Amino acid sequence: MRWPSATRSRSLGVYAALFLCVAALGGWQWNEHRRFAENARQALINRGRDITSTLGIVVNSQRRFGYLVVKDRIESALNALLHPGELESIAILSATGEPIASAGPAVEITPAMMRGPGVYWRQHDLTLMNLMDLGVGGPAGPAEDPVRPGTFVVTNPRLQKALRSAAANRGAANRPAAEGAEPAPPPAAVPRFPFSRPAWMDQEEYDSIIRKQGAHSLVVSLSTAELRRTVRADLLLRSLVTLLASGLAFFSAFAWRNFYRNAELRIRLVKAGEMNSHLAEMNFAAAGLAHETRNPLNLIRGFAQMIAMQPEAAPKLRAHASAIIEEADRVTVQLNEFIDYSKPREAHFGPVEVAKLVAAVARTLLPDIEDKQIVVVPPAAPLTISADEALFRQALFNLLLNAVQAVAPGGRIEVRTLAAAGDEAVLEIADDGPGVPATERANIFKPYVTMREKGVGLGLAIVHQIVAAHRWDIVCTANSPRGALFRLSHLKLAARPA
């Protein structure tokens, strides 16, 4: 069915609009997902920075003598802060990038990380480095003392002993003099960082300790499992929204297509109804015209018959009169069949004995059967079906007449009844005539299609009407070994009386 060009253009516009809406929604959802993922990443970074700030407070709380942190104690405190699946590792780095205290799995530190922005994403974790020093010491003591970090992580027993000695000396210098003793000269200004190079430590070792044991920055490793799970869930949700929108657009397009097709079909049905009404009126008028034509035709035939019966009429005139009678009879038969074909078929069901009805129809055709010495075999078993007896009789008459006309003298016609599934039966009428070519079997039930030279072509069309009125089926097939076979199926068995 071809749609009008305007309808096709409108439908294409609707399909394009639906496609653009789905594409726009998909693009919007993708951008929103990217923004969600970026916000989730930034939130994890901010949380890592908050953790490093908290760790700075923890480290400051572990100081002794204002700047010393014992490694065992700070690592114990850091281990208490670890949370599997969230905070995986913590490390305190020196100025050289070496870890001087850590908790959890070792964190890989590269020179590029020491010079970079401090945020590094890996496959399963986020490494965050806080480059802010944990306090910075100023110049103090002798001129050879460098600028030192504000926190040291110590483990060397000798260094701890020296720090304790320096602290004791500082305490002695601050004690008051004994009564009666001369006051001691005021001590030199005590530097902010009392730690200075001991006498037993050379300058190189002292500089190495400051460089390697001074806390320079904090590094934390955060798990990204929860981040990845959240981002995947958001992607799945937005994909589901886009998929639902695509399905809705598809069904909308399908509904639009069906709407226009239904509208087109409704228009065609209205036109077909109008055409059927017009054809029914024409059929009724044609049937009336055929009925009215028979009266003058019978009059013409009567006059021709009177002329043919006059002995004094010329032989040529009587021959013409006989021809008129013959043609009048032929046209009358055609008119009768046309009027019969034009009648509406409405079946009134009742019990019908098939064998008895076949015998009655055969008696009607007995002159023709005896004239050609045809053998007619009736059904062997009795069968009662539910049918309209008058219509069924006419159908059997047309089928048997068609078989009688088709077979040669001395031919054979057989009527068989067969049981089918349930409460159904099958009726077959077979002959040994020339049969019907396979290419014509689908057309012989159409009006005015005949295999005989003088046939009208309405007999089998009337049979088809009667079969349709009973909601049966009829087919024409080849009989074995020769001839034609007409099979009526879906015949309903009559209900047996209780």
Domain assignment present for residue 426? The answer is yes
Domain assignment present for residue 352? The answer is yes
What pLDDT does residue 1 have?
A: 44
C-alpha pair distances (Å), 301 with each of 297, 320, 332, 493: 6, 12, 10, 46
Domain assignment present for residue 325? The answer is no
Residues in the chain: 498
Domain assignment present for residue 422? The answer is yes
Q: What does the alpha-carbon distance between residue 463 and residue 469 come to, in Å, rounded to a whole number? A: 10
Instruction: Identify the helix (H) or strand (E) that includes residue 488.
Output: strand 484-492
Place of tokens 């008028």: 285
- How far is C-alpha 162 from the geometric centre of its chain's CA atoms? 80
What pLDDT does residue 136 have?
A: 44
Domain assignment present for residue 270? The answer is no
Residue 464 makes CB contacts below 8 A (sequence gap 6+) with 445, 474
Q: Which of 209, 220, 217 is nearest to 78 (CA)?
A: 220
Domain assignment present for residue 160? The answer is yes
What's the distance, Cα to Cα, between the start and end of the chain in Å? Answer: 54
Q: What does the alpha-carbon distance between residue 318 and residue 306 come to, in Å, rounded to a whole number? A: 9
Q: Which of 231, 39, 40, 46 is nearest to 128 (CA)?
A: 46
Per-residue HEC secondary structure of 424-462 comes to: EEEEEEEECCCCCCHHHCCCCCCCCCCCCCCCCCCHHHH
* Contact between 369 and 407 (Cβ < 8 Å): no
Domain assignment present for residue 26? The answer is no
Q: What does the alpha-carbon distance between residue 92 and residue 105 come to, in Å, rounded to a whole number? A: 13
pTM of the model: 0.46
Question: Are both 208 and 76 inside the same structural domain?
Answer: yes
Number of domains, the chain? 2
Task: Give, for all 498 residues of the chain, the pLDDT tens digit.
Answer: 444 555 667 778 888 888 999 999 999 999 999 999 999 999 988 888 888 888 887 877 777 656 667 777 888 888 888 888 888 888 888 777 788 888 888 877 777 776 767 788 888 888 888 755 454 444 333 334 444 565 666 665 544 554 555 555 555 555 555 555 555 555 444 444 445 566 666 777 767 777 777 777 788 888 888 989 999 999 999 999 999 999 998 888 888 888 878 877 888 888 887 777 766 666 666 666 666 676 787 788 787 888 878 888 788 887 888 888 877 777 777 777 676 666 667 788 999 999 999 999 999 888 889 999 999 999 988 889 999 998 899 899 989 998 998 899 999 999 999 888 888 899 999 999 888 888 888 888 888 777 776 666 778 888 888 899 899 999 999 988 889 999 999 999 987 654
Q: What does the alpha-carbon distance between residue 152 and residue 62 come to, in Å, rounded to a whole number? A: 11
Structure tokens at 224: 């990204």
Show the CA angle centred on residue 281, arms to residues 276 and 282, nearest 5°: 95
Q: Parallel, antiparallel, or unpaired for β 152-154 and 68-70?
A: parallel
What are all long-range contacts of 57-64, with beta carbons under 8 Å and residues at least 24 apart?
59/92, 59/134, 59/151, 59/215, 59/218, 60/134, 60/135, 60/151, 63/151
Domain assignment present for residue 446? The answer is yes
Place of tokens 């490793």: 221
Q: Which residue segment(s) compose the domain that 457 sits in?
A: 346-492
- How far is C-alpha 62 from the geometric centre of its chain's CA atoms? 65
Place of tokens 């069915």: 1
In 62-102, where does DSSP find H-type helix? 71-81
In CATH, what number is assigned to the domain containing residue 476? 3.30.565.10
